[in-house]
Structure 1
């Protein structure tokens, strides 16, 4: 479902470019990358370690996938143009689910602030987070993102507190509080800021 004028969603895409950086989810797993032209390429997190082994910042890649938004692609195949090696989106092997008491055990309390570089989207096109100028990724639930529509735009200054990961690939958190710097609002009643 398109989100605003000019968005071409659901069409096949074939793009080539130079990898700027890998992206991670709040659990610290690589889940995509950004090309130097700003294109965001998403992959399922179960392919993260394969992607990290396949490509490095500065290398040229070709991506075949589905265009979700003007500059966001869900990859089906990623090829390292220099080595010819590639990976394709295949369902993960079945694994036992993480016990409820262990979910989130490796997450750290983080706080970030900066200027919104881009807005990220959920599969149906709703905003669900931002990437900041310093590289941090802030994830929001879709209902929480709706509360902050005016702040979810490139160039806006935002701050967030939440739980996530900081590792060699960057920093990402699931926000429990979000807003303009100095005016951060708790998103959940039962979470201490």
Structure 2
């Protein structure tokens, strides 16, 4: 069979008139890196809280050399002489009454507890239980009061005897000549050092702190959380 020359010529001409097709560059459909999203958590599965785990207890025996207190004069520890060294013993303030009844200066005691650092970097021995003679006192969780006391605003007046500075060098408050302790934030105390130096007369509106259950003061002090201060006729709001 012969090929029709007309059809061949026509087909050839048609092919020559078609536009040249160019290869298109390959377009990837893959997306870029996915930014990290929020941490995924399984519903109903809360994070495990931080726990101290098991703590090894150590027993020390010795003589109570000196009772110690915090800035509010509330008993919270004592210095124990073991014969070869002295150890700073700390306990919750709520144990002050029960411990002071059986462990006085010069008493022989046995203490069980563990060593721990304080925020100031000091190493202390945290008391868990104390035995003096046939009596043992144990640190137990505090019971919340059935009814919280309602604080009332009172006015206290006096002269500045001194400013109280903690172990980190921060001024925490001022002590009046009648042993009233006025507590203010450190940044306020720094202002008062120049505004109301020692010997200045000051008037304070504030809330008197009541001792908690079991707390004992080594030195009788009235503790006041300041709300307003008046110095040289000018009243300041404490914030």
* TM-score when normalising by structure 2: 0.40
Q: Which has the higher contact order (CA 8 A, sep 6+)?
A: 1
* Greater C-alpha radius of gyration: 2
Larger strand share, 1 or 2: 1
* TM-score when normalising by structure 1: 0.48
